A and B are shown apart, each in its own frame.
Chain A
Amino acid sequence: MVNNVASSVIGIIAEQAMLPAAEISPDDTLESLGVDSLGLVEAVFAIEEKFDIQVPFNANEPGQSSFDISSVGSIIKAVEALAKEAR
């Protein structure tokens, strides 16, 4: 399950970055992948759809959200936690 979350999240981010999923590692940041603010909200939407969860993300102040977007790895962790709560 954990691996499934990671690969799904990476797939979603890869689509926004227009890169093959294999080129994305947990250490990458959205900035380094070239994902802009619109790409980020689209990715959040795709994550919500995929896992049927509510992501506490406020595009107004992305840094203030409890959803940690500082790296691909942090996003995966956050999504794992949310998916677990949802179950």
Chain B
Amino acid sequence: MARRVVITGMGAVSSLGMSAVDTMRGMAQGRSGISALEFQDVERLQIRIGGQIKGYDETAHFSRHEIALFDKFTQFAVLAAREAVAQAGGKVGGAGSGVVLGTSGGGLQTQDENFRKVYEEGKNRVHPFVVPRLMNNAAASHLSMIHGITGPSYTVATACASSNHAMGQAFHMVRAGMADQMLTGGSESMLCFGGIKAWEGLRVMSKTGCRPFSKDRDGMVQGEGAAVFVFEEMDRARARGAEILAEVAGFAMSSDASDIVMPNRDGAVRAMQGALQDAGLGPEDIGYINAHGTGTAANDRSECQAVREVFGEHALALRISSTKSMHGHLIGGTGAVELLACIMALREGIIAPTINFSAQDPDCALNVVPNEAQQAKVQAVLSNAFAFGGLNAVLALRAAP
């Protein structure tokens, strides 16, 4: 009998709220977390909006010593994990548990601040913790230390698919018996001058807003934050009486092998088909897809074509939405925050909307849940992530058994 994997804890911080519940409530309300960016040198940017967490005070959550070691991406992961572990009854730790987190920029804020000091301000000395703060595995390492997790822990960096790849790895490890419990998800904090300046160069960012699938869409908007989940072997979770939020049913990855930035329909098709097959689900079982839905012309068109190809006529019956319209694109943390929309759909029958939708694009003629949440009873969902570099990762979730 194959081991089954369930989710027993969730936590998040995002521009929609400082907990998983608040973030999901924001999604259900169709609230926008996008606002004017606030940080040093923002006036030198073309792009000045993002899903920034406003009013965040690190000293309210961490000691001075912790702050000295925690870049913001680590802080977000630690806060999300705290919530997830509490929900799972505080029962994590030991050699039977591990941590796999996704991030793309890692401690980019730390890099940016210190590059400014040495290049712009001409300083010749940096704080001794620059490296332990900026390293991409910092968040995973701190979660292992805080929660006494001594099994396998590492970080996955596959740009916009980092979190989905991470959660897929965690799922595989629990299913394969390499671990009984994994903390997994992702974290990102790229909203600083250098972070946005680099993205500006690609000319895929919107100056006005994130409008996935809408005919007037003109690019992506970044966000920041984290989401962390407790993935656990089902029998173990049941034996200890844990509340099961959803089942992780399947996962698949594919590579486009075509272009470093342009999406590829075939790669997306193979990842979705693979996830369905791995989960033992048919296309008609899927009631909701959390889209990658970046709001760029290319992604949304290609993703909708891929959905049509995988789901045939059922593509018109299912719902597909992009919550990036509300919290922005969290790059390496995005799949984790978006998994909350999947859990909300399965548990509460609330399908998060795609906000800022004004007019249908014939290339994206699906039920994209425009502007307002919809009610629907769904038994199974997919969560898509298609990264720059042509690396695709799709998770399949089923309602709690």
Chain A residues engaging chain B, CB cutoff 8 angstroms: 18, 38-39, 41-42, 44-45, 48-49, 59
Minimum CB distance partner of A40 in chain B: B128
Q: Does B125 contact A (CB under 8 A)?
A: yes
Report which of A18, A38, A48, A49 forms a contact with B129, defined as CB distance below 8 A.
A38
Counting chain B residues whose Cβ lies within 8 A of the other chain, the interface size class is under 10
- Kindly list chain A residues whose C-beta atoms are within 8 Å of the C-beta of B86: none
A-B pairs with the 6 shortest C-beta distances?
A: A41-B128, A45-B128, A48-B125, A42-B128, A45-B127, A42-B68
Q: List 8 A-B contacts (CB under 8 A).
A: A41-B128, A42-B68, A42-B128, A42-B129, A45-B125, A45-B127, A48-B125, A59-B128
Considering the complex, which residues of chain B in the window 53-71 have a beta carbon less than 8 Å from any beta carbon of chain A? 65, 68-69
- Main SS at interface, chain A: helix
Chain A residue nearest to B124 (CB atoms) is: A54
Residues of B near A49 (CB, < 8 A) are 125
13 more A-B contacts (CB under 8 A) besides A18-B65, A38-B69, A42-B68? Answer: A38-B128, A38-B129, A39-B65, A41-B129, A42-B127, A42-B128, A42-B129, A44-B128, A45-B125, A45-B127, A48-B125, A49-B125, A59-B128
Minimum CB distance partner of B69 in chain A:
A38
Residues of B within 8 A of A (CB): 65, 68-69, 125, 127-129
Closest chain A CB from B289 CB (angstroms): 46
- Find chain B residues with CB under 8 A from A44 CB: 128
**Closest chain B CB from A14 CB (angstroms):** 12
Complex Cα distance, B128 from A38, in Å, reads 8
Which A residues are CB-close (under 8 A) to B129?
38, 41-42
Name the residue of chain A whose CB is nearest to the CB of B132: A38
Least distance between B62 CB and chain A CB atoms (Å): 14
- Give chain A residues whose Cβ lies under 8 Å from the Cβ of B128: 38, 41-42, 44-45, 59
Complex formed: what's the CA distance from A18 to B65 in Å?
A: 10
| Complex Cα spacing A42 to B65, Å | 10
From residue B260, how far is it (CB to closest CB) to chain A in Å?
A: 39
Residue of B at shortest CB range from A54?
Answer: B125
Most buried by A among B125, B127, B128, B129: B128
| Shortest Cβ gap from A79 to chain B (Å) | 15
How far apart are A10's CB and chain B's nearest CB, in angstroms? 18
- CB of A17 to closest CB in B, whole Å: 11
Separation of A59 and B131 alpha carbons in the complex (Å): 14
Residues in B whose Cβ lies below 8 Å from that of A18: 65
Q: Which residues of A contact B68 (CB under 8 A)?
A: 42
- A42 to B66: give the CA distance in the assembly, Å: 13
B-chain residues with CB within 8 Å of residue A59 when the two chains form the complex: 128
